[in-house]
Amino acid sequence: MGDLRSTRPITSPDIPVSAELMCRAIALALENVRCARGGPFAALVAKDGKVIAEGANSVTATNDPTAHAEIVAIRAACKALGNFQLTGCDLYTTCEPCPMCLGAIYWARPARVFYAGAAADAADAGFDDAFIYEELQRPPESRRIPMIQLMREESLAVFAAWKQQANKTKY
- Reply yes or no on whether 96 is catalytic: no
By the 8 A CB rule, do 90 and 14 touch?
no
Out of 11, 16, 50, 149, the residue judged to bind a second copy by CB under 8 A: 149
CB of 146 to a second copy, least distance (A): 5
11 binds a second copy (CB under 8 A): no
SS3 call for 87: coil
Q: Looking at 20, 70, 135, 153, which residue is catalytic?
A: 70
- Show contacts with a second copy in window 26-85 (CB under 8 A): 26, 29-30, 33-34, 36, 39-41, 59-60, 63-66, 68, 71, 74-75, 78-79, 81-85
Positions 95 through 124 that interact with a second copy (CB under 8 A): 95-96, 98-118, 121-122, 124
* 16 contacts a second copy (rule: CB under 8 A): no
Question: Dihedral, CA atoms, 1, 74, 122, 136, nearest 10 degrees?
Answer: -20
Shortest distance (Å) from residue 89 CB to a second copy: 11
How far CA 35 is from CA of 39, 57, 139, in Å, comes to 10, 12, 41
Torsion angles phi and psi, residue 72, rounded to 5: -60, -45
Measured in Å, how far apart are the chain's first and last C-alpha atoms?
5
- Catalytically annotated residues: 70
